[in-house]
């Protein structure tokens, strides 16, 4: 089974090299794709230098300017499918997603789930170092998604997610519309509506220690208003 980890980056020079080392220290034959959106801090240059150490396992796609989290992941999914990977996992570069959880997410997919969600809320609230305001926003955002869509997922906004090849070949990626964090909700909702099997794997989320958050009011607004339209969307399998 070929496993690909996809990480979008923008100004992650403080984290990217340590993340590369950590992922390649894990048991299992992981490959890593970094998708950098023209980071002015030199993130891509660090990755290019590290490719000399891992020429067969470390991959880089460089894009011109910030094009949105969702488009970065869609680019990674398409690349991974073309390269023949069996399971593809998305995660952040800032260590808020613990790379040690990667084997559990990949295992869940390889044991029959189509989408394995690294969930902060499936077993209580597992978040460390977040201010209470942000924690409440995230928690009730997932409650809001459950109420509006009826999707049985506790952590609908989670960004630490593993997809099977079957799932990504079933979802019409060209029809995914949201670009920010709403992308995470739309992907899960689409998979659920298509009858794919979703599983939540409990993780502990730790706020970033280095770099700055990319969250903005516009990103939140897209997700909030985009969710309202999801139940009326026609969801079709990729033809």
Q: To the nearest whole number, what is the mean pLDDT of the chain? A: 88
Other C-beta atoms lying within 10 Å of the C-beta of residue 73? 25
In whole angstroms, what is the distance from residue 89 CA to residue 93 CA?
A: 13
- Answer for the pair 161, 89: CB distance below 8 angstroms, yes or no: yes
- pLDDT recorded at residue 218: 52
pLDDT tens-digit readout, 66-124? 888 999 999 999 999 999 999 999 999 999 999 999 999 999 999 999 999 999 888 76
- Coil/strand/helix, residue 36: strand
In whole angstroms, what is the distance from residue 136 CA to residue 94 CA?
A: 21
User: What integer is the mean pLDDT of 52-72?
Assistant: 94
User: What integer is the mean pLDDT of 11-20?
Assistant: 97
Other C-beta atoms lying within 10 Å of the C-beta of residue 111? 9
């Amino acid at each position: 089974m070929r496993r690909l980890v996809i990480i979008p980056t923008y100004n992650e020079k403080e984290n990217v090299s340590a993340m590369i080392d950590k992922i390649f220290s894990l048991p299992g034959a992981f490959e890593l794709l970094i998708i950098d959106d023209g980071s002015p801090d030199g993130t891509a240059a660090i990755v290019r230098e590290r490719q000399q150490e891992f020429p067969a396992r470390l991959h880089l796609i460089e894009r011109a300017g910030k094009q949105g989290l969702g488009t970065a992941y869609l680019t990674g999914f398409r690349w991974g499918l073309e390269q023949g990977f069996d399971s593809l996992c998305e995660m952040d570069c800032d260590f808020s997603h613990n790379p040690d959880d990667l084997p559990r997410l990949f295992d869940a997919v390889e044991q029959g789930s189509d989408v394995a969600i690294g969930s902060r809320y499936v077993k209580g609230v597992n978040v460390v170092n977040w201010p209470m305001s942000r924690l409440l926003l995230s928690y009730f955002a997932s409650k809001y998604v459950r109420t509006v869509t009826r999707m049985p997922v506790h952590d609908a906004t989670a960004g630490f997610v593993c997809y099977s090849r079957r799932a990504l070949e079933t979802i019409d990626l060209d029809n995914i519309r949201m670009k920010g964090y709403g992308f995470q909700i739309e992907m899960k909702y689409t998979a659920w509506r298509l009858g794919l099997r979703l599983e939540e794997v409990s993780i502990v989320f730790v706020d970033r220690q280095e770099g700055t958050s990319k969250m903005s009011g516009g990103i939140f607004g897209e997700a909030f208003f985009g969710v309202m339209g999801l139940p009326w969307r026609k969801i079709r399998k990729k033809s």
